[in-house]
Amino acid sequence: MSFRPDAVRGAPGGAALPGQIDYRMARNFVIKEFHRGRLSRLDVCDAHPELLRAARGMGTPGGQQCPICEELELVHVAYAFGSHLPPGGAAFQGAAELAKLTRRAGEVACYVVEVCTGCSWNHLARTYVAGRRRTRSG
């Protein structure tokens, strides 16, 4: 599994996940509004300290330069949320960790956020559902 922007549905050579939602259009709108001066840096560089900590500790390289500060490479942070996971979700890196989470938690909602650890830019890159829905046996 790749979290790179070219791995989304419709991207050349991209392998899409079923039910994946890509937020690229919303991202591009925010970036354009920033470059036009309609949004300030304070408006767009507002990553929560815990998100920045996760980005520094377990973020995966995003393969793109930050569109705001244009100094550092973006990193992707992935989180899973589900009924059998902690209320704050669980951060994971890659397919192996996600498979381990879904074995324990069943179906989970996954969120991938791109983050710049320099200027605190962050934007939801995509969401998708992983794992299988648990069935009641009885």
Residue 138 within any structural domain of the chain: no
pLDDT of res. 12: 39
Residue 4 within any structural domain of the chain: no
Residue 93 within any structural domain of the chain: yes
Residue 13 within any structural domain of the chain: no
The per-residue pLDDT for range 82-95, each reduced to its tens digit, is: 988 999 899 999 99
Residue 8 within any structural domain of the chain: no
Q: Which domain holds residue 60?
A: 20-130
pLDDT of res. 134: 60
pLDDT of res. 136: 58
pLDDT of res. 64: 95
Alpha carbon 70 to its chain's center: 19
Residue 63 within any structural domain of the chain: yes
Residue 11 within any structural domain of the chain: no
Residue 65 within any structural domain of the chain: yes
pLDDT of res. 91: 93
Number of domain units in the chain: 1
The per-residue pLDDT for range 63-75, each reduced to its tens digit, is: 999 999 999 999 9
* CB proximity list for 116: less than 8 A, separation 6 or greater: 45, 47, 66, 68, 69, 72, 74, 75, 122
Ranges of the chain with pLDDT below 70: 1-18, 134-138
